[in-house]
Structure 1
Amino acid sequence: MTALTPPEGLLVPPGHGRAIRTAAQQVTFKVTGSHSRSASSFEVLVPPGFDVGAHVHSRSEELFYVLEGELDMLAFEPVVRTADRWQRWESSSGNRVVRATPGTVIVVPPGCPHAFANPTGEPAKMFFQASPPPDHERYFEELLAILDRGGPPDHAAIEELRARYDIEQLTPLRHGPAENVTPAGP
């Protein structure tokens, strides 16, 4: 009779995990699909001026937890989806974009438009979890490779990438100086 080995958890110390970087961005894979059947987890450095653009997933559920800095964030269906900027969107119940500070948690169910941007002059850091794995792992690898090419983002390549990974883009991704981002508020 063979003895069963009890399962062991995964401990990832600070500063550990598989990091992928561009000149301004970093995503550190903390928990991947090889470790969990339920979610991938990442630590994400969001540079000043980065705007992921409003988007929606039909299958993925996401969780964002701000660790450092400030991010403008939304997670609701707006009364009107504008094609350019999401920072002024408002929901039918009156929800607006939030200036998220350390300790803020946002949960995004499938089908819910959401976005984040760093409107400040300082990097922000967040913990990000996506379920099911491993789509977001592959997506981050490919997106950072596109952004690392230099110059303005290749929007056609990003659009094709997002189409492959269950991401319907509602407003453009922006990657540049903080003055290109409109702060939250009325």
Structure 2
Amino acid sequence: MDGLIVAPGQGRKVITKVQEVTFKVTGANGSPVSSFEVVVPPGFDVGAHTHSNSEEFFYVLAGELDVLAFEPIERTEETWHDWQSPDGRRKVRAGAGSCMFVPRGCPHAFTNPTDEPAVMLFQSSPSPNHEHYFDELCEIFASGEVVDPHAVQKLRDRYDVNQITPLRNEPPTR
């Protein structure tokens, strides 16, 4: 069996007004881990959520993201930005070279609060669930100017995404 080399800019791309995802290594390549390059636009907030059947790894390649991966003292439904862990941790501003590992069941979130796009390498195990999820999510994003929150929720229900706070795509406020 041979390995796989994916050059910069290569891979299957899915581009919408909201999201740009490049599938780098997937289950179709025989990998147990799905690897994507994701451009996170200014103002995009994935919302806090958990997965009962998958683990994730995020590595910031360019730009900055606010991230968290912990169970808060109190979960709030509107936003995760002020959450605090029992030992005092809060969200972290993650720049290029920062990474975040998320075990199964751990609440996690990221947002791009800056005026510039951020780029991250995202890995999910096992494949291919997040591959199908990203394909369908990008279809929802491409369907109009406003993201339909009910369509996103139905999708997340099918793909083991327990949403705690809502997904948002709004320009950052200063």
Q: What band does the TM-score fall into relative to the shorter chain?
A: over 0.9
How is 1:110-149 mapped onto 2 (pairs within 5 angstroms)?
Answer: 110-149=104-143
- What is the aligned partner in structure 1 of residue 67 from structure 2? 73
- What is the aligned partner in structure 2 of residue 109 from structure 1? 103
- What is the aligned partner in structure 2 of residue 45 from structure 1? 39
Q: Out of 158, 165, 174, which is 1:164 matched to?
A: 158
Are 2:77 and 1:83 aligned? yes
How is 1:91-102 mapped onto 2 (pairs within 5 angstroms)?
Answer: 91-102=85-96
Amino acid at match of 1:177: P
- The TM-score, its normalising length taken from structure 1, stands at 0.91
If each structure's strand is expressed as a fraction of its own residues, which one has the higher value? 2
Amino acid at match of 1:60: S
Amino acid at match of 2:14: I
The offset of 1:95, in angstroms, is 1.2
- What is the aligned partner in structure 1 of residue 10 from structure 2? 16
Report the identity percentage.
58
SS in 2 for 1:87: coil
* Cα pair distance change 1:145/1:64, threshold 3 Å: same
Amino acid at match of 1:56: T
Amino acid at match of 1:39: V
The offset of 1:36, in angstroms, is 3.3
Please list every run of 5 or more consecutive structure 2 residues that lacks an aligned counterpart in the other structure.
none
SS in 2 for 1:8: coil
How is 1:52-71 mapped onto 2 (pairs within 5 angstroms)?
Answer: 52-71=46-65
Q: Deviations over 1:28-60 (max 9, x none)?
A: 000010123420000000000000000000011
- The TM-score, its normalising length taken from structure 2, stands at 0.97
* Alpha-carbon separation, structure 1, partners of 2:166 and 2:17: 21
